[in-house]
Amino acid sequence: MDRLIRACERLQEENRDLKARASEWQRERVRLVEKNELARGRVEAMITRLKSLESE
C-alpha cells in the first residue's frame, strides 16, 4: 500500500511539473509569434519603401 501511495505522489508531482513546463512553452510560443509578427511588419515596411524608391 505504501508503494502505491508513493507512486501516486510521484505521479502527481510529475504531472505538476509537466503542466508547469507546458505553460512555459505556451508563453514562449506566444512571445515568438509576437516577435515574428513584428519582424514581418518591419520587412513589409522595408519592401514598401524600396518599391516607392524604385518607382521614383
Q: How far is CA 15 from CA 20, 26, 41, in A?
A: 9, 16, 39
pLDDT at 55: 85
pLDDT at 1: 93
Instruction: Count the domains in the chain.
Output: 1
pLDDT at 31: 98
**Segment 1-56, tens digit of pLDDT:** 999 999 999 999 999 999 999 999 999 999 999 999 999 999 999 999 999 998 87
What torsion, rounded to 10 degrees, do the Cα atoms 6, 8, 14, 20 define? -130
| Domain interval for residue 34 | 1-56
In this prediction the pTM is 0.69
